Chain A
Amino acid sequence: MPRYGIAIDTTKCIGCHSCRVACQNQNSLESNETFNWIKHLDRGRYPSYNKQFIPLQCNHCENAPCQRVCPTGATYTSNEGVVLVNSKTCVGCKYCMEACPYKMRIIDHRRGIVEKCRLCIELVREGGVPACVTTCPTQVRVFGDLDDPNSAISRFIASTGAQPLRPDLGTLPKIFYKRS
């Protein structure tokens, strides 16, 4: 079985929010709901001031605290390594939202359940890639199988030394970032 992840080259991100919009459309989200956040980071001072954009989403942690605390077992890891929420058994206790150190989960008040990035698993199972990856105009995102050393993502990580965010938290994220 594959072990999917995304590598993100933040040096190419122009902060256009296309991934967020594509994700909202793909997942029928309201305009104020999102699984994707673009954070701005101010760096340096004039004359070398610059702004860095960092897209954030669920890291599909290998050792996921959200899954450990979920009383119903609604949060689970699929055999492709994707952390998912079963909408039929989630009770909306929000324990997972507190437990996620990255704060990447939101509550859908209409359905009363917790939601987050699903790595567009339906598209991926049909041989596609997540909507955020396809849509990105500057091709910031590389999707693929982390277990296959020849996949584009594995080669990207090997050549750039991309790292997860806060690896010290010990959750073993599967979203990798190339930062400058």
Chain B
Amino acid sequence: MLKAIRRFFGEKASGQVARKRMQVVLMHDRLDLTPDVMESLKNDILAVLSRYMEIDDQTIRVDLEQGKEYTALVSNVIIKRVYRAGVNLPEIPLPR
């Protein structure tokens, strides 16, 4: 009964919670995003972004996010300065 009330106020059924958690966990397991891989993914993203803007490379975060119908790779990074179009684009080679 108590559970029914809690659910009425928005608590999800545990089966559904389990399913959501498993979606994320299995995605991580399958991608096998080891700290090494994560690190090189971050560096690659940073290299690409810094062709267009000056960024604070200490702030970058890369996470997997589970939506209802999708799994997203979400990266957040703080921009320090955007270059004016066509001006001052630094020649940083793309990785690989």
Do A and B make up one complex?
A: no
Interface residues of A (CB under 8 A from B): none
Interface residues of B (CB under 8 A from A): none
